[in-house]
Amino acid sequence: SIAILLYLARKFKTPDHWYPSDLQKRARVDEYLSWQHVNIRGKGSKLFLTKVLLPLLTGQPLSPEKLEGVTEELNVVLKQFEEKFLQDKPFIAGSEISLADLVALVELMQPVGAGYDLFEERPKLAEWRRRVEGAVGKQLFQEAHEGILNIKNL
């Protein structure tokens, strides 16, 4: 949960960029962490549930119309994410990675695991993903997302 991430960042005195002491940068991180629950997480999880879990549980594929509606909802929040949070910065809070970037990318990997490559036609989002992966290390990133990226093998 977000509360646990913030607690751990404070308790273990992580490097400042994860949860910045600068009030403006911290406000950007907090703003994103509050916004993402019903937006990126809500719409990304909905696509994942609709495209992967429901058909798995029911044995029935989702109607194309329903899937299109869920995908469009996600596309709306992805546009908001790019315009409001990424803007022209390398990361959400500025020039360094933060907890906001980690949380954002983890949530976006659910639709990717469901077979929806939301980075394909969004160069700004794809570049941001590459920066986040580079900051945490490509191998660690792949290891952390191995389960979700292989979910369709169920």
Q: Is residue 109 part of a domain?
A: yes
CB-based contact 86:124 (threshold 8 Å): yes
Of 24, 40, 32, whose CA–CA distance to 6 is shortest? Answer: 32
pLDDT tens digits for 30-68?
Answer: 999 999 999 999 999 999 999 888 888 898 888 899 999
DSSP state of 40: I
pLDDT tens digits for 8-22?
Answer: 999 999 999 999 999
pLDDT tens digits for 62-102?
Answer: 889 999 999 999 999 999 999 999 999 999 999 999 999 99
* pLDDT for 56: 84
Q: Is residue 15 part of a domain?
A: no
Residue 114 sits in a domain whose CATH number is: 1.20.1050.10
* pLDDT for 8: 95
* pLDDT for 150: 83
Q: Is residue 17 part of a domain?
A: no
Q: Which domain holds residue 77?
A: 28-153
C-alpha span between 27 and 48 (Å, rounded): 29
Q: Is residue 53 part of a domain?
A: yes
pLDDT above 70: residue 133: yes
Q: Number of structural domains, the chain? A: 1
Of 126, 125, 145, 148, whose CA–CA distance to 137 is shortest? Answer: 145
* pLDDT for 61: 82
Q: Is residue 22 part of a domain?
A: no
At residue 147, the 3 state secondary structure works out as: helix
Burial 11-42 (b: 16+ CB within 10 A, else e): eeeeeebbbbeeeebbebbbebbebbeebbbe
C-alpha span between 146 and 125 (Å, rounded): 21
Q: Is residue 11 part of a domain?
A: no
* pLDDT for 153: 67
Q: Is residue 126 part of a domain?
A: yes
